[in-house]
């Protein structure tokens, strides 16, 4: 191996030194110095990468792994899980609801397309399962339905077609707002309003007429049915 071979090898893997490299380093003072510099640099890189961690990210609540679906066991653990989840939930740092909604918009960009194809009844059923909400699928022209993890809860995420294009609807039965909240941030105009249970949010790209957002909100509100 010549100097260039040795420096290339050590520059990629400083800790891996075969007999050929060791032999070269024993006879080449320049490469030995270069290797010492590299070792020092790696030490500094490691220290630089180890940025301070204010506090470890908490482990998730101890719900049973779904890989062992035993209903009775899951039911037996539900109460304990709920208590632990409540503790974790109360300690979880919360950002503004509007910011969370805007952040969630990056998750399923493929859902926001103009289309005349409605979401299937099966998709709607799956998206709304467990939410205590049902919807008239025809009235609001729902084209996409998914149950999404949002702020540590699964919530119905719908896309509704409107004359101004597709709009995202989040049914937030556990997120409470005291009154109507309009926002325009991160490329999205939106509105969050109190609902019979929790709240309801509609988001559309910035620049969408406010009247169109309100029209979609009204159509969705009229089509949603909340279980008591």
CB 100 within 8 A of CB 181: no
Q: Which among 86, 80, 142 is positioned nearest to 111, based on CA atoms?
A: 142
Establish if 70 lies at the interface with other proteins (CB under 8 A).
Answer: yes
Residues 146-205, interacting with other proteins (CB under 8 A): 149, 152
Of the residues 7, 157, 189, 197, which one makes contact with other proteins according to CB under 8 A: 7
Question: How many residues sit in the footprint of other proteins (CB under 8 A)?
Answer: 46
Select the residue interacting with other proteins from 28, 32, 38, 177 (CB under 8 A). 38
Write out the H or E segment, with its range, that includes residue 168.
Answer: strand 165-172
- 134 phi and psi angles, rounded to 5 deg: -125, 165
Question: 29 vs 19, 22, 33, 39, CA distance in Å?
Answer: 17, 12, 6, 15
* 112: contact with other proteins by CB under 8 A: no
The gap from C-alpha 113 to its chain's centroid, in whole angstroms, comes to: 20
What is the closest distance, in whole angstroms, from the C-beta atom of residue 215 to other proteins in the complex?
Answer: 28
Vertex 12, ends 10 and 16: CA angle to 5°? Answer: 55
Find the binder of other proteins among 45, 83, 129, 218 (CB under 8 A): 45
Q: How far is the CB of 80 from other proteins (least distance, A)?
A: 10
Cα distances (Å, whole numbers) of residue 62 to 20, 44, 153: 52, 38, 15
Does position 79 bind other proteins by CB under 8 A? no
The one segment of 62-70, 130-138, 172-180, 204-212 that binds other proteins by CB under 8 A: 62-70
| Rounded least distance, CB 169 to other proteins, Å | 20
Which part of the chain contacts other proteins (CB under 8 A), choosing from 22-30, 60-68, 192-200, 201-209? 60-68
């Amino acid at each position: 191996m010549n100097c260039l071979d040795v420096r290339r090898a050590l520059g990629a893997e400083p800790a891996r030194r075969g007999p050929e490299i060791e032999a070269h380093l024993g006879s080449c003072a320049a490469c030995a110095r270069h290797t010492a510099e590299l070792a020092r640099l790696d030490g500094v890189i490691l220290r630089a990468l180890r940025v301070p961690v204010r506090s470890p990210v908490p482990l998730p609540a101890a719900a049973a792994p779904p890989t062992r679906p035993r209903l009775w066991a899951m039911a037996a653990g539900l109460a304990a899980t709920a208590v632990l989840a409540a503790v974790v939930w109360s300690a979880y740092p919360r950002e503004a609801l509007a910011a969370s909604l805007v952040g969630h918009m990056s998750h399923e960009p493929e859902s926001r397309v103009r289309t005349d194809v409605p979401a299937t009844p099966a998709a709607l059923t799956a998206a709304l399962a467990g939410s205590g909400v049902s919807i008239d699928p025809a009235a609001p022209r729902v084209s996409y339905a998914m149950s999404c993890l949002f702020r540590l809860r699964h919530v119905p995420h719908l896309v509704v077609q409107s004359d101004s294009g597709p709009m995202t609807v989040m049914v937030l039965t556990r997120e409470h707002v005291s009154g109507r909240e309009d926002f325009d941030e991160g490329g999205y105009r939106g509105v969050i309003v109190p609902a019979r249970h929790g709240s309801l949010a509609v988001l559309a790209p910035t620049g969408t007429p406010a009247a169109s957002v309100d029209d979609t909100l009204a159509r969705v509100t009229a089509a949603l049915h909340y279980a008591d």
